[in-house]
Copies of this chain bind each other. A is one copy, B any other.
Protein backbone atom coordinates (compact mmCIF):
# COMPACT_ATOMS: atom_id res chain seq x y z
CA UNK A 1 0.00 0.00 0.00
CA UNK A 2 1.05 3.60 -0.53
CA UNK A 3 2.76 4.87 2.63
CA UNK A 4 0.96 8.22 2.97
CA UNK A 5 -2.42 6.62 2.35
CA UNK A 6 -1.70 3.95 4.96
CA UNK A 7 -0.70 6.56 7.51
CA UNK A 8 -3.77 8.69 6.83
CA UNK A 9 -6.17 5.76 6.85
CA UNK A 10 -4.81 3.36 9.41
CA UNK A 11 -2.18 4.89 11.69
CA UNK A 12 -4.59 6.89 13.82
CA UNK A 13 -6.70 3.81 14.43
CA UNK A 14 -3.72 1.60 15.23
CA UNK A 15 -2.25 4.20 17.60
CA UNK A 16 -5.54 4.74 19.42
CA UNK A 17 -6.05 1.01 19.84
CA UNK A 18 -2.59 0.89 21.47
CA UNK A 19 -3.32 3.61 24.00
CA UNK A 20 -2.17 6.77 22.22
CA UNK A 21 -3.95 9.90 23.36
CA UNK A 22 -3.67 13.10 21.37
CA UNK A 23 -3.74 16.64 22.74
CA UNK A 24 -7.20 18.15 22.12
CA UNK A 25 -7.40 21.38 20.08
CA UNK A 26 -8.65 23.31 23.13
CA UNK A 27 -5.68 22.22 25.25
CA UNK A 28 -3.19 23.42 22.64
CA UNK A 29 -5.13 26.69 22.24
CA UNK A 30 -4.94 27.41 25.95
CA UNK A 31 -1.21 26.66 26.03
CA UNK A 32 -0.65 28.98 23.07
CA UNK A 33 -2.59 31.69 24.91
CA UNK A 34 -0.27 31.31 27.93
CA UNK A 35 2.79 31.68 25.71
CA UNK A 36 1.34 34.65 23.86
CA UNK A 37 0.71 36.52 27.10
CA UNK A 38 4.46 36.25 27.75
CA UNK A 39 5.32 37.23 24.17
CA UNK A 40 3.13 40.32 24.36
CA UNK A 41 4.87 41.55 27.50
CA UNK A 42 8.27 41.28 25.82
CA UNK A 43 6.97 42.60 22.49
CA UNK A 44 7.93 39.49 20.62
CA UNK A 45 6.26 39.30 17.21
CA UNK A 46 6.75 35.59 16.69
CA UNK A 47 8.42 32.56 18.16
CA UNK A 48 10.29 29.73 16.47
CA UNK A 49 10.01 26.62 18.62
CA UNK A 50 12.72 24.04 18.01
CA UNK A 51 13.36 21.96 21.11
CA UNK A 52 11.43 18.72 21.33
CA UNK A 53 9.64 19.15 24.65
CA UNK A 54 8.55 22.73 23.95
CA UNK A 55 7.42 21.44 20.57
CA UNK A 56 5.36 18.71 22.18
CA UNK A 57 3.87 21.13 24.68
CA UNK A 58 2.72 23.52 21.97
CA UNK A 59 1.94 21.27 19.00
CA UNK A 60 1.08 17.98 20.72
CA UNK A 61 3.65 16.07 18.70
CA UNK A 62 7.40 15.51 18.41
CA UNK A 63 7.94 14.90 14.73
CA UNK A 64 11.04 16.63 13.35
CA UNK A 65 10.41 20.25 12.42
CA UNK A 66 9.82 23.83 13.50
CA UNK A 67 6.78 25.48 15.05
CA UNK A 68 6.24 29.11 14.12
CA UNK A 69 3.93 31.02 16.49
CA UNK A 70 3.02 34.59 15.53
CA UNK A 71 1.67 36.79 18.31
CA UNK A 72 -1.51 37.10 16.27
CA UNK A 73 -2.83 34.67 13.69
CA UNK A 74 -2.49 30.95 13.30
CA UNK A 75 0.62 28.93 14.14
CA UNK A 76 2.48 27.15 11.35
CA UNK A 77 4.04 23.73 11.74
CA UNK A 78 6.88 23.06 9.26
CA UNK A 79 7.75 19.37 9.20
CA UNK A 80 10.92 17.72 7.97
CA UNK A 81 9.94 14.17 8.93
CA UNK A 82 7.29 12.75 9.07
CA UNK A 83 4.65 15.07 7.58
CA UNK A 84 1.76 12.62 7.32
CA UNK A 85 2.29 11.50 10.87
CA UNK A 86 2.46 15.08 12.16
CA UNK A 87 -0.97 15.63 10.60
CA UNK A 88 -2.31 12.64 12.49
CA UNK A 89 -0.71 13.65 15.79
CA UNK A 90 -1.11 17.43 16.03
CA UNK A 91 -4.32 19.47 16.29
CA UNK A 92 -2.52 22.40 14.64
CA UNK A 93 -4.30 23.16 11.35
CA UNK A 94 -1.52 24.57 9.20
CA UNK A 95 1.04 21.85 8.70
CA UNK A 96 3.41 21.98 5.74
CA UNK A 97 6.43 20.06 4.48
CA UNK A 98 9.88 21.55 5.02
CA UNK A 99 12.43 19.97 2.68
CA UNK A 100 15.23 22.30 3.74
CA UNK A 101 15.55 25.00 6.42
CA UNK A 102 16.28 27.40 3.56
CA UNK A 103 12.58 27.21 2.65
CA UNK A 104 11.53 28.49 6.07
CA UNK A 105 11.47 32.25 5.34
CA UNK A 106 9.33 31.68 2.24
CA UNK A 107 6.93 29.41 4.11
CA UNK A 108 6.57 31.98 6.89
CA UNK A 109 6.14 34.82 4.39
CA UNK A 110 3.41 32.84 2.60
CA UNK A 111 1.72 32.02 5.87
CA UNK A 112 1.47 35.46 7.41
CA UNK A 113 2.39 37.88 4.66
CA UNK A 114 5.62 39.08 6.26
CA UNK A 115 8.68 38.08 8.25
CA UNK A 116 8.28 39.30 11.84
CA UNK A 117 11.03 41.62 13.08
CA UNK A 118 11.35 40.49 16.69
CA UNK A 119 11.76 36.72 16.70
CA UNK A 120 11.92 34.58 19.82
CA UNK A 121 14.28 31.59 20.13
CA UNK A 122 14.98 29.04 22.88
CA UNK A 123 18.48 30.23 23.65
CA UNK A 124 18.79 28.05 26.75
CA UNK A 125 19.25 25.01 24.52
CA UNK A 126 19.61 26.20 20.91
CA UNK A 127 23.12 25.41 19.58
CA UNK A 128 25.22 28.37 18.47
CA UNK A 129 25.58 27.00 14.92
CA UNK A 130 21.79 27.02 14.50
CA UNK A 131 21.61 30.53 15.90
CA UNK A 132 24.04 31.71 13.21
CA UNK A 133 21.97 29.86 10.61
CA UNK A 134 18.85 31.76 11.68
CA UNK A 135 20.76 35.03 11.40
CA UNK A 136 21.45 34.22 7.76
CA UNK A 137 17.91 33.05 7.06
CA UNK A 138 16.30 36.12 8.66
CA UNK A 139 18.89 38.89 8.19
CA UNK A 140 16.55 41.70 9.25
CA UNK A 141 15.21 40.05 12.39
CA UNK A 142 16.21 40.76 15.94
CA UNK A 143 16.44 37.55 17.98
CA UNK A 144 15.30 37.39 21.58
CA UNK A 145 15.59 34.68 24.18
CA UNK A 146 12.18 33.27 25.06
CA UNK A 147 13.33 30.40 27.31
CA UNK A 148 11.89 32.02 30.40
CA UNK A 149 8.51 32.64 28.74
CA UNK A 150 8.30 28.94 27.93
CA UNK A 151 9.52 27.86 31.36
CA UNK A 152 7.04 30.14 33.08
CA UNK A 153 4.12 28.91 30.97
CA UNK A 154 4.98 25.27 31.56
CA UNK A 155 5.31 25.58 35.33
CA UNK A 156 1.52 25.46 35.85
CA UNK A 157 0.07 22.13 34.73
CA UNK A 158 -3.35 21.68 33.16
CA UNK A 159 -5.71 18.95 34.32
CA UNK A 160 -4.74 16.94 31.23
CA UNK A 161 -1.06 17.18 32.12
CA UNK A 162 -1.73 16.26 35.74
CA UNK A 163 -3.69 13.24 34.61
CA UNK A 164 -0.73 12.02 32.53
CA UNK A 165 1.55 12.49 35.55
CA UNK A 166 -0.90 10.49 37.69
CA UNK A 167 -0.63 7.70 35.13
CA UNK A 168 3.16 7.85 35.28
CA UNK A 169 2.87 7.62 39.07
CA UNK A 170 0.68 4.53 38.77
CA UNK A 171 3.32 2.84 36.62
CA UNK A 172 5.81 3.70 39.36
CA UNK A 173 3.62 2.00 41.93
CA UNK A 174 3.65 -1.22 39.89
CA UNK A 175 7.44 -1.02 39.65
CA UNK A 176 7.90 -0.78 43.42
CA UNK A 177 5.38 -3.55 44.05
CA UNK A 178 7.33 -5.88 41.75
CA UNK A 179 10.65 -4.71 43.12
CA UNK A 180 10.05 -6.52 46.41
CA UNK A 181 9.78 -9.78 44.49
CA UNK A 182 12.77 -9.15 42.24
CA UNK A 183 15.33 -8.03 44.83
CA UNK A 184 17.71 -10.85 45.82
CA UNK A 185 20.89 -10.99 47.88
CA UNK A 186 23.94 -11.04 45.60
CA UNK A 187 22.15 -9.48 42.64
CA UNK A 188 24.06 -6.50 41.21
CA UNK A 189 22.64 -3.00 41.44
CA UNK A 190 22.51 -2.69 37.66
CA UNK A 191 20.74 -6.03 37.19
CA UNK A 192 18.09 -4.92 39.70
CA UNK A 193 17.76 -1.54 38.01
CA UNK A 194 17.48 -3.14 34.58
CA UNK A 195 14.72 -5.50 35.72
CA UNK A 196 12.76 -2.61 37.26
CA UNK A 197 13.05 -0.72 33.99
CA UNK A 198 11.69 -3.80 32.17
CA UNK A 199 8.67 -3.88 34.50
CA UNK A 200 8.04 -0.16 33.94
CA UNK A 201 8.23 -0.53 30.15
CA UNK A 202 5.78 -3.40 30.19
CA UNK A 203 3.24 -1.03 31.74
CA UNK A 204 3.86 1.75 29.24
CA UNK A 205 6.80 3.71 30.70
CA UNK A 206 8.57 5.46 27.83
CA UNK A 207 12.11 4.72 28.93
CA UNK A 208 13.70 8.11 28.43
CA UNK A 209 13.53 10.74 31.17
CA UNK A 210 14.08 14.17 29.70
CA UNK A 211 16.09 16.89 31.35
CA UNK A 212 16.76 20.38 29.96
CA UNK A 213 20.53 20.49 29.79
CA UNK A 214 23.45 19.98 27.44
CA UNK A 215 25.31 17.58 29.70
CA UNK A 216 23.08 16.36 32.46
CA UNK A 217 21.48 13.02 31.57
CA UNK A 218 18.53 11.47 33.39
CA UNK A 219 18.11 7.72 33.77
CA UNK A 220 15.96 5.34 35.80
CA UNK A 221 18.51 2.89 37.20
CA UNK A 222 19.54 4.95 40.23
CA UNK A 223 20.01 1.94 42.52
CA UNK A 224 22.64 2.55 45.21
CA UNK A 225 23.54 0.07 47.93
CA UNK A 226 25.71 0.55 50.96
CA UNK A 227 28.93 2.43 50.10
CA UNK A 228 27.90 3.35 46.53
CA UNK A 229 25.12 5.41 48.13
CA UNK A 230 27.80 7.63 49.65
CA UNK A 231 29.47 8.46 46.33
CA UNK A 232 28.91 11.90 44.86
CA UNK A 233 29.14 12.39 41.11
CA UNK A 234 28.71 14.90 38.28
CA UNK A 235 25.00 15.44 38.89
CA UNK A 236 23.57 18.10 41.20
CA UNK A 237 22.23 15.40 43.48
CA UNK A 238 23.05 14.49 47.11
CA UNK A 239 24.51 11.18 45.91
CA UNK A 240 25.46 10.05 42.40
CA UNK A 241 26.39 6.43 42.84
CA UNK A 242 29.28 4.64 41.23
CA UNK A 243 27.86 3.88 37.78
CA UNK A 244 29.47 1.50 35.31
CA UNK A 245 32.51 3.42 34.10
CA UNK A 246 34.06 6.89 33.98
CA UNK A 247 31.83 7.43 30.91
CA UNK A 248 28.70 6.91 32.99
CA UNK A 249 29.78 7.50 36.60
CA UNK A 250 26.27 7.71 38.06
CA UNK A 251 23.55 5.32 39.12
CA UNK A 252 23.68 1.55 39.49
CA UNK A 253 26.99 -0.31 39.34
CA UNK A 254 28.11 -3.93 39.11
CA UNK A 255 28.35 -4.02 42.91
CA UNK A 256 26.42 -6.88 44.47
CA UNK A 257 23.75 -5.94 46.98
CA UNK A 258 24.31 -7.37 50.45
CA UNK A 259 22.11 -8.12 53.41
CA UNK A 260 21.42 -5.27 55.88
CA UNK A 261 22.71 -2.54 53.55
CA UNK A 262 20.51 0.48 52.83
CA UNK A 263 19.41 0.13 49.18
CA UNK A 264 18.15 3.37 47.68
CA UNK A 265 15.94 3.12 44.56
CA UNK A 266 15.25 6.47 42.89
CA UNK A 267 13.17 5.56 39.86
CA UNK A 268 11.40 7.93 37.47
CA UNK A 269 8.61 6.86 35.16
CA UNK A 270 7.32 8.55 32.04
CA UNK A 271 3.89 8.38 30.41
CA UNK A 272 3.08 10.33 27.25
CA UNK A 273 6.13 12.48 27.96
CA UNK A 274 5.11 13.31 31.54
CA UNK A 275 7.24 12.13 34.41
CA UNK A 276 6.76 11.05 37.99
CA UNK A 277 9.78 10.73 40.24
CA UNK A 278 9.94 8.62 43.37
CA UNK A 279 12.43 7.12 45.83
CA UNK A 280 11.99 4.30 48.31
CA UNK A 281 14.42 2.41 50.52
CA UNK A 282 14.89 -1.35 50.35
CA UNK A 283 16.87 -3.77 52.45
CA UNK A 284 17.59 -7.49 52.50
CA UNK A 285 16.95 -8.29 56.12
CA UNK A 286 16.79 -5.38 58.54
CA UNK A 287 19.09 -2.43 57.91
CA UNK A 288 21.22 -0.92 60.69
CA UNK A 289 19.31 1.30 63.16
CA UNK A 290 21.44 4.27 62.08
CA UNK A 291 19.89 4.13 58.60
CA UNK A 292 16.36 3.53 59.91
CA UNK A 293 16.71 6.62 62.09
CA UNK A 294 17.97 8.66 59.15
CA UNK A 295 15.09 7.40 57.00
CA UNK A 296 12.64 8.51 59.70
CA UNK A 297 14.29 11.93 59.68
CA UNK A 298 13.80 12.08 55.88
CA UNK A 299 10.16 11.16 56.39
CA UNK A 300 9.75 13.96 58.93
CA UNK A 301 11.38 16.49 56.59
CA UNK A 302 9.23 15.21 53.69
CA UNK A 303 6.05 15.63 55.76
CA UNK A 304 7.11 19.10 56.84
CA UNK A 305 7.44 20.16 53.20
CA UNK A 306 3.97 18.75 52.49
CA UNK A 307 2.52 20.62 55.45
CA UNK A 308 3.79 23.85 53.88
CA UNK A 309 2.62 22.93 50.41
CA UNK A 310 -0.21 25.23 49.31
CA UNK A 311 -0.49 28.27 47.03
CA UNK A 312 1.35 31.26 48.42
CA UNK A 313 4.11 29.63 50.48
CA UNK A 314 7.59 30.84 49.57
CA UNK A 315 9.81 28.14 48.07
CA UNK A 316 13.06 29.32 49.67
CA UNK A 317 11.37 29.62 53.06
CA UNK A 318 10.31 25.96 52.87
CA UNK A 319 13.86 24.93 52.01
CA UNK A 320 15.34 26.93 54.90
CA UNK A 321 12.83 25.35 57.26
CA UNK A 322 14.02 21.87 56.23
CA UNK A 323 17.64 22.91 56.80
CA UNK A 324 16.80 23.88 60.37
CA UNK A 325 14.82 20.72 60.94
CA UNK A 326 17.63 18.52 59.58
CA UNK A 327 20.05 20.28 61.96
CA UNK A 328 17.68 19.81 64.88
CA UNK A 329 17.37 16.12 64.05
CA UNK A 330 21.16 15.75 64.08
CA UNK A 331 21.86 15.58 60.35
CA UNK A 332 23.47 18.95 59.73
CA UNK A 333 26.52 17.43 58.02
CA UNK A 334 24.78 14.66 56.11
CA UNK A 335 21.54 16.29 54.93
CA UNK A 336 21.47 16.44 51.10
CA UNK A 337 25.06 15.29 50.69
CA UNK A 338 28.36 14.96 52.54
CA UNK A 339 30.04 18.10 53.98
CA UNK A 340 31.22 20.46 51.25
CA UNK A 341 29.06 18.72 48.65
CA UNK A 342 25.61 19.30 50.11
CA UNK A 343 23.09 20.34 47.49
CA UNK A 344 20.84 23.30 48.08
CA UNK A 345 17.43 22.03 46.98
CA UNK A 346 14.83 19.78 48.53
CA UNK A 347 12.45 19.66 45.54
CA UNK A 348 12.62 20.16 41.77
CA UNK A 349 9.73 20.97 39.44
CA UNK A 350 8.79 18.12 37.14
CA UNK A 351 6.61 17.53 34.10
CA UNK A 352 7.97 16.99 30.60
CA UNK A 353 11.43 17.57 32.00
CA UNK A 354 13.10 16.81 35.31
CA UNK A 355 14.31 20.34 35.99
CA UNK A 356 11.26 22.52 35.55
CA UNK A 357 10.03 25.29 37.83
CA UNK A 358 9.56 25.48 40.79
CA UNK A 359 12.67 24.67 42.79
CA UNK A 360 12.24 24.49 46.54
CA UNK A 361 15.75 25.65 47.11
CA UNK A 362 18.10 28.27 48.41
CA UNK A 363 17.88 31.43 46.31
CA UNK A 364 14.48 30.55 44.89
CA UNK A 365 12.19 33.00 46.58
CA UNK A 366 8.79 32.86 44.88
CA UNK A 367 5.43 31.49 45.94
CA UNK A 368 4.01 28.08 45.21
CA UNK A 369 1.03 28.25 42.86
CA UNK A 370 -1.92 25.99 42.24
CA UNK A 371 -1.09 23.54 39.43
CA UNK A 372 2.64 23.38 40.09
CA UNK A 373 4.15 19.91 40.37
CA UNK A 374 7.41 19.01 42.05
CA UNK A 375 9.37 16.03 43.33
CA UNK A 376 10.34 16.43 46.98
CA UNK A 377 13.35 14.34 47.96
CA UNK A 378 15.00 14.61 51.37
CA UNK A 379 18.13 12.48 51.44
CA UNK A 380 20.83 11.81 54.02
CA UNK A 381 24.32 10.64 53.07
CA UNK A 382 26.98 8.79 55.09
CA UNK A 383 30.29 8.67 53.16
CA UNK A 384 31.68 5.15 52.95
CA UNK A 385 28.50 3.66 54.38
CA UNK A 386 25.42 4.51 52.38
CA UNK A 387 22.50 6.86 52.03
CA UNK A 388 18.78 6.93 52.63
CA UNK A 389 15.90 8.98 51.30
CA UNK A 390 12.26 9.31 50.40
CA UNK A 391 10.77 11.01 47.34
CA UNK A 392 7.32 11.73 46.01
CA UNK A 393 5.91 13.75 43.17
CA UNK A 394 3.42 16.29 44.43
CA UNK A 395 0.77 18.57 42.93
CA UNK A 396 -0.04 21.92 44.53
CA UNK A 397 -3.84 22.07 44.82
CA UNK A 398 -6.15 24.95 45.70
CA UNK A 399 -5.84 24.34 49.44
CA UNK A 400 -2.89 22.02 49.81
CA UNK A 401 -1.39 19.16 47.86
CA UNK A 402 -1.98 15.81 46.18
CA UNK A 403 0.63 13.06 46.02
CA UNK A 404 0.92 11.72 42.43
CA UNK A 405 3.11 8.75 43.37
CA UNK A 406 0.82 6.44 45.38
CA UNK A 407 3.51 4.09 46.69
CA UNK A 408 3.50 2.98 50.32
CA UNK A 409 5.76 5.24 52.36
CA UNK A 410 7.89 2.72 54.21
CA UNK A 411 11.15 0.82 54.03
CA UNK A 412 10.65 -2.24 51.82
CA UNK A 413 12.36 -5.05 53.68
CA UNK A 414 12.67 -8.41 51.91
A interface list, Cβ under 8 A from B: 1-4, 6-7, 10-11, 14-15, 18-23, 50-52, 56, 60-64, 81-82, 85, 89-90, 121, 123-132, 145, 147, 188, 190-191, 193-195, 197-202, 204, 206-208, 214-215, 217, 219, 221, 227-228, 230-236, 240, 242-249, 251-255, 270-274, 338-341, 352, 383-385
State the CA gap A378–B414 with chains docked (Å).
Answer: 48
Chain B residues within 8 Å of A383, by CB:
1-3, 6
Are B221 and A207 in contact (CB-based, < 8 A)? yes
Chain B residues within 8 Å of A352, by CB:
247
Chain B residues within 8 Å of A121, by CB:
128
| Interchain nearest-CB distance for A293 vs B (Å) | 19
Are A190 and B219 in contact (CB-based, < 8 A)? no
- Chain A contact residues: helix, strand, loop or mixed: loop
Are B253 and A18 in contact (CB-based, < 8 A)? yes
Are B3 and A339 in contact (CB-based, < 8 A)? yes
Are B123 and A234 in contact (CB-based, < 8 A)? no
Chain B residues within 8 Å of A230, by CB:
3, 6
Query: Can you add 15 more A-B contacts, CB < 8 Å, to A3-B338, A7-B231?
Result: A19-B244, A20-B244, A63-B249, A64-B215, A128-B128, A190-B202, A194-B202, A204-B254, A207-B219, A208-B217, A208-B219, A208-B248, A244-B272, A245-B271, A246-B273
Are A127 and B125 in contact (CB-based, < 8 A)? yes
Chain B residues within 8 Å of A385, by CB:
1
Output the nearest chain B residue to A10 by Cβ-Cβ distance: B384
Are B242 and A15 in contact (CB-based, < 8 A)? yes
Are A51 and B128 in contact (CB-based, < 8 A)? no
| Interchain nearest-CB distance for A32 vs B (Å) | 17
Are A233 and B129 in contact (CB-based, < 8 A)? no
Chain B residues within 8 Å of A23, by CB:
246
Chain B residues within 8 Å of A207, by CB:
194, 219, 221, 248, 251
Known contacts A89-B249, A215-B51; decide if A233 and B82 are in contact (CB<8 Å): yes
Are B201 and A82 in contact (CB-based, < 8 A)? no
The residue among A207, A230, A253 with the most chain B CB atoms within 10 A of its own CB is A207
Output the nearest chain B residue to A125 by Cβ-Cβ distance: B127
Are A233 and B85 in contact (CB-based, < 8 A)? yes
Chain B residues within 8 Å of A341, by CB:
3, 81-82
Are B214 and A127 in contact (CB-based, < 8 A)? yes
Are A18 and B255 in contact (CB-based, < 8 A)? yes
Chain B residues within 8 Å of A18, by CB:
242, 253-255
> Which of B61, B197, B340, B384 is A6 in contact with, Cβ under 8 Å?
B384
Q: List 23 A-B contacts (CB under 8 A).
A: A3-B383, A4-B340, A18-B255, A19-B245, A20-B245, A50-B214, A52-B217, A61-B249, A62-B246, A81-B235, A81-B236, A82-B341, A123-B129, A123-B132, A127-B128, A191-B198, A193-B201, A194-B202, A195-B198, A201-B221, A204-B254, A247-B274, A248-B273
| Interchain nearest-CB distance for A10 vs B (Å) | 7
State the CA gap A271–B248 with chains docked (Å).
Answer: 9
| Interchain nearest-CB distance for A254 vs B (Å) | 5
| Interchain nearest-CB distance for A298 vs B (Å) | 19
Chain B residues within 8 Å of A50, by CB:
214-215
The 4 closest A-B pairs by CB, nearest first: A247-B273, A194-B201, A3-B338, A194-B198
| Interchain nearest-CB distance for A258 vs B (Å) | 13
| Interchain nearest-CB distance for A61 vs B (Å) | 5
Are A249 and B85 in contact (CB-based, < 8 A)? yes
State the CA gap A60–B129 with chains docked (Å).
Answer: 26
Known contacts A245-B20, A246-B20, A254-B19; decide if A1 and B384 are in contact (CB<8 Å): yes
Are B56 and A246 in contact (CB-based, < 8 A)? yes
Chain B residues within 8 Å of A251, by CB:
207
State the CA gap A138–B272 with chains docked (Å).
Answer: 42
Are A272 and B249 in contact (CB-based, < 8 A)? no
